[in-house]
A and B are shown apart, each in its own frame.
Chain A
Amino acid sequence: MSHAAQGRGKAGFITGFLIAPIALYLTFVIWPYVQTFGYSFTNWSGQSPVFDFVGLDNYAALLEDEVFRGALWHNLLLLVFVPVITILLALFFAFMVNAGGRSGAGGVQGVSGSRLYKVVYFFPQVLSLAILAVLFGAIYRSDEGGLLNGFLIKTGLVDPQHPIEWLNEPNFVLWCLLFVVVWHGVGFYLVLFSAAMQSVPKDIYEAALLDGAGRAQTFFKVTLPLLWDSVQTSAVYLGIAAMDMFVLVSTMTSGQFGGGPDHHSEVMATVLMRNFLYFGKSGYACAMGVVMLVLTMILSVITLRATRRERIEF
């Protein structure tokens, strides 16, 4: 490659370095995305090479599809609650870790053992969703063998004869899944916000304290505005995670690719996979993919717009 670079100058070098990444990316990422758009206008089954162009039929069918509409609603619920709960908890814990300690001569301090808390809280982030599915599948077991039921029965809160069927209870199942996402994510965002808090110069806090600001005031008037960039980024990341949910739903709930009981935990991703791999309706599945893409893009833009504030330089 070095010969080529010397021989044909910069252009050769640039091409040489870009050719392999572009080829891979084009083949396995961009082209499939483009094809999804194309297939979404056909009645392709995925198995046979023949298919007809059906225009917008798949999209029209999507509007009529009760299961898909339910899944869309669940995704929207998650989209609101996953970021809000995770970010609030992470901000609260980050503030406690960094400023919840005894007040000393040097101003507000973190609690003792704050490093240990960060180490423990962050750990779920390195575990795969598959491990989480196994772990929480066992925790939410519908008899006394499940950690949650076992605990509630021991403390007398639940009748041993009628333990709660967490993942089979239409009203609970989505919230049980939501808790898994929060459990997984809080530590990560705690560390993220902590890093941002620590990068705020100490004298800003000291000035606030000298002006007589309490801890709560310091948080809302000083810390939060300075953290706004990180909060915004976090909301987008958590929003994208809430649009996905495939692994947890498909492995923890009942039904082919999950979604049970009776579609109460259905998300768009599980409907898509079922149509693609089980019903053999690949064209239809592609239309769902396009809807998911458009929604993700709209939501990212809305989040960034709606939460935009003037950036504070420090």
Chain B
Amino acid sequence: MCETCGCGEPDNKPEQTQDPIGRDLLSANDKAAQHNREHLRRIGAFMVHLTSSPGSGKTTLLEKTVEALKGKLSIGVIEGDVATENDAERMRAMGVPSEAIVTDGACHLDAKQVHHALHHLAEKGNLDLIFVENVGNLVCPADFDLGEDYRVVLVSTAEGDDKPEKYPPIFRRADALVISKTDLLPHVDFCIDKVKKHAQTIAPRIRTFEISAKGGDGLDEWIAWLSNIVPAGK
């Protein structure tokens, strides 16, 4: 049983069938992720997973998102980082319930880490919407389902417009793409249409947003989408 709430902690083991042939090698993580989804339904919250390379603006987007949804949705944040709690501290400074997962070198979060953080967050109040900010990395997080309802990949204009071509796995399982730092477009060589086209070739149903968190452009559409994915009545 879970040490925190007795919910039945995921055991990080695959199903106990003996035949190891053909079963996905991350089935234990997938099982823990499914447990997280069930937990989220029990507490009535939805979870959005943000993933990107370091410095693409995930935390700044979260700060602007929290400001925009203040009084409308109750938001909590799980912040993954290799060596600090800097991002979690930024969210706490805004009064947002936040849990830090410091990986001490590990390049991605997994579902069991998120499970523990979810329990600690739940102790801080009833939440409608939980964001998980993964470790900044465009490779390793791709394979690890955290139990999120939606996965969002950010690509900032300063990174270059070839990211879907260079890192296709991270886009393959994404529900949405945020092209961030659009205020920098006059200063960089970045073709938005190219990024969108390549991302949609990899993930045909991916939804795209173009946002300048600093200037505010594109935030309204993002906020409207987030508001819609949390069921009415929450």
The answer to whether A binds B is no
